[in-house]
Structure 1
Amino acid sequence: MFLEMSRPSGAACSLLLLWSSWMAQVVGSEGDPSCWMGALQFDTCCLPPPRGKASCWEGSFSYQRCCLSGAILPVVDVNSVEDISQLGGCELNIFQEFKTRSGAWYKENRANLVLFHEFVYLFSRFDAMFKSCAPAALTALLLKLESMYFADESTWNGLFQIYVEKYHQAVAEGVLLQSHHENGWPLLEGIRKVNALRSSGGEPAELGTREVVDLVVCYCGRGERVDWLRAFQKMPWRPEDRSLSTRRHVALKFYHKCGELFSEEEREAERQRLVADWGSMFRTVEVRYVDDALRADDCSAYLAYIVDRYDDLPEFTVFLHADAPEHIPTLDLLTDTVFAASRGYLPNELGFLHLSHNYVHQEVNCSASNSSCQPREKWEIQNLWKNVFGSSLVPSVTDGSLSAYCCVQFLARRERILQRDRLFYQRALSYFGETPDSYYALFPVGRVVRMVDTLGRTPCQLAMYIWHILFGEEMHLPRRHRDPRMPLFIRMLNIEVEAVLEAQAGADGHDGGSFQLNGEARSDTTYDRLQTLFQEE
């Protein structure tokens, strides 16, 4: 049977002509690419002509712009007016770009340095932003809630109450519509994530029976100040008081690496002083002296702790230097991580976390024929790898296989530490501390120990790039903000200059290049804040 196709009517002819005209304008293109995100795509919004899908259009996001032209949203300077609503509403580029980035965060778990910067900006100006674009202000508030999902009840309840009230106010005033949800504002995804995170933890069931977090501080004494430990109870620039949680769940353990400088009487006096100074702030305080064959360091201190506590490890251990603030981008990252861990709020997939600020990206794409870019420690690192892991195969340093943060301030979950047996750690402790073997391994022949290596603790300096592998991470550790296992509060802190440059080169997506560093001097810098912890009371 053949189907007979009748000649189209006049109206149909007009539609076909319009379709042909429209197709001629868009063949080989997808309209304006800045319009599309998630379910909002060219095919789903622009067909059929001449208006496409009505629910796709909002403000300056129109059929004409998105489907028939390549127009770009005009950039507005939000600092040029006192009230941003004078410039417009949700159609402003600052809000539409924020919608795109926040949608990618919630729907694809895709991080963006610009998003981390702009949601804080929007939240800090909430009332003005709410007046101009309620969905944007509410989304920023959801991201703020997500960044503090582990907070104590009073802090959390206060901000969550504001969100609920403002959401209902927006609905009542008609400034939050169904079309906002249809056009991509991720409010539903955001509140679902916030609620899931908040319900994921809470005070540990074993409250009062044992510590949840051990702070292991590699310490030398002799004037080495650790006043920054006060921050685990309260930081002067933040209202939260975490004293009760710290006393209940966090134990402090000094692993003293300079015992050779002390007599037995001085050792005991030092022990009693440290316990007296910090005993009231933490669940327990212990002091253990580490005596090495040559000179103790963080390798021998950390490994000695694991050997000591292997059968009685807490859920989390945080390994730190006595000068930790010099290596960590902000104390907020450290104290928030410990607080979240102590309350059971760190995600299960987070088994290891570097806390330092300096990411070392080993020589990537460094040709073997180019001797000028060969790492000076290539032979030593490969030899160290063989001796520690007992492996005949070693990773390539020159192609970037071994990259991580330096300066060994990190958190490890108990199950990650226990992936290796006690004998492994005993052998590693013997290699780095109880014998000079790690120093002998710096040279291909003989049994040589150079003074410069002893003073600089060269073997342990080289080992800073393998700690994450000891505890079950991949050899190439990503930057924190690109690691999807990390919660928002960890990913948004420590934005290095190198990370910004990588983002501007496209590492975090096409819109990463709009991120700008602000070098303006401020009185609330990390340095200024840190000084308040050392002020005499």
Structure 2
Amino acid sequence: MSKRRLFRWPARRTAGLGCLALLVTSMVSWYLYVHQETPNNDHDIVTSQLAQLTSTYSNATNDIGLVLAATVKEDLTWLLNYCKDHGSIPFIYTTDQPPAPYLLVPRTIRGREAAAYLSFVVDFYHQLPKYTIFIHSNLDQWHNDLFGPHTSPALKNLRLEAVDAQGYVNLRCEHDPGCPTSVHPWSPTQIDIEKDDIRAFFPEVYETILGVPAEKVPEHIGNVCCGQFAVSRERILERPREDYERMLKWAEETELTDSFGVGWVYEKIWHIIFGMDVI
């Protein structure tokens, strides 16, 4: 009798430990299931459809390209609807690491939208659409002023005749505050100097990006906020492709500032890059 007990006791203990292990495994599986990130299937569906539109692009048949940077967190449904309704072609550059599926991959991600804008110009330099409109990815933007915060009405009301006439048109319409002189390359503040702010190095930055000597660096720079604008093909082509490659190289390699600073610099000088007056 005692021998049988000695024989059976380990079997019962093993069975008990097996049940405990199964219980722990089940609890861990339940926890991981509850706390797992839900795949963003809606985002993938939208971006794949946008990518299909991009794949149909031909500058012989498509006049308008919409260029933007985006992450997987941003809802691009509005862009898909707009492109379908208005025959525009989206060129969406991912700024995620690793790159999000379906989207175009920029040559650098430093500067975010600046990297996307410049990558597009370099990638499509020899097959640009007649009009390229550089925009932000979210539908609502505080600087969309005259027609409300949504980007769609701003695009609908953009007069392409103005782009033909000017070559470069900012999407912001309000005259206030206009073009404030927010950058003074040769007169940085003491605080900028002490903090090694990018403003303290602006002459050097300007020379490198624009490929000009020091005497061409202006005393003051003024621009319309905020990084959404339309440019004609002819205006983009006034600069050789190598200029835009140099601009991308600076964005990727500069040690004077971080990614945010790179984007800030370009936001201050897009109008100059595309042939407008410094103020």
TM-score by length of 1: 0.35
Which residue is equivalent to 2:124?
309
> 1:360 deviation in Å?
5.7
User: Which structure has more RCO (C-alpha within 8 Å, separation ≥ 6)?
Assistant: 2
Q: Distance in 1 between matches of 2:265 and 2:230?
A: 19
Q: Against the structure 1 CA distance between its residues 384 and 301, is the aligned structure 2 distance closer, same or farther, given a 3 Å change threshold? A: same
Structure 1 residue aligned with 2:137: 322
Q: For residue 427 of structure 1, report the CA deviation from its aligned partner.
A: 1.4
Separation of aligned partners in 2, 1:346 and 1:359: 18
The correspondence for 1:423, drawn from 228, 242, 251, is 242
Which among 86, 89, 93 is matched to residue 251 of structure 1?
89
**Aligned pair in 2 of structure 1 residues 457, 330: CA closer, same or farther (>3 Å)?**
same
Could you tell me which residue of structure 2 aligns to residue 216 of structure 1? 67
Question: Which residue does the alignment assign to 1:348?
Answer: 164
Separation in structure 2 between the aligned mates of residue 296 and residue 414 of structure 1, nearest angstrom: 23
The residue number in structure 1 matching 2:221 is 402
Q: State the Cα deviation string for residues 357-396 of structure 1 (Å, max 9, x = none).
A: 775612599x969968999643222221011112222111
Distance 1:405 1:368, change over 3 A: closer
Structure 2 length-normalised TM: 0.63
Identity of paired residues, percent?
22
Read off the aligned partner of 1:218 and give its amino acid letter.
A
SS at structure 1 position matched to 2:165: coil
Q: Does 1:226 align with 2:73?
A: no
**Does the 8 A contact of 2:69 with 2:112 survive in 1?**
yes
1:308/1:230 Cα in 2 relative to 1: closer, same or farther (>3 Å)? closer
In structure 2, what is the equivalent of residue 139 of structure 1? none
- Distance across 2 between alignment mates of 1:432 and 1:372: 24
Contact 2:188 2:200 (8 Å CA) reproduced: no
1:408, distance to aligned residue in structure 2 (A): 1.0
The aligned residue for residue 378 of structure 1 is 199
* CA distance in structure 1 between the aligned counterparts of 2:113 and 2:170, rounded to whole angstroms: 15
Which structure 1 residue ranges, 5 or more long, are not aligned? 1-207, 234-241, 272-286, 443-452, 477-537
Partner of 1:289, secondary structure, is: coil
SS at match of 1:254: strand
| Partner Cα separation in structure 1 for residue 158 and residue 188 of structure 2 | 47
1:89-488 to 2 correspondence within 5 Å? 210-221=61-72, 223-229=73-79, 232=82, 243=85, 246-247=86-87, 250-258=88-96, 260-262=97-99, 267=100, 270-271=101-102, 287-292=103-108, 295=110, 297-323=112-138, 325-330=140-145, 332=147, 334-335=151-152, 338-339=155-156, 345-346=161-162, 348-356=164-172, 361-362=180-181, 377-392=198-213, 393=215, 394-396=217-219, 401-433=220-252, 436=253, 438=254, 440=255, 442=256, 453-454=257-258, 456-476=259-279
Alpha-carbon deviation of 1:418?
Answer: 0.6
1:351 maps to amino acid: G
Distance 1:231 1:330 in 2: 21
Q: Kindly state the Cα deviation for residue 329 of structure 1 after the two structures are TM-superposed.
A: 2.0
Q: How far apart in 1 are the matches of 2:110 and 2:144? A: 28
**Larger-gyration structure (1/2):** 1
Cα offsets for 1:474-499 (capped at 9, x unmatched): 000xxxxxxxxxxxxxxxxxxxxxxx
- Contact 2:209/2:247, CA 8 A, preserved across alignment: yes
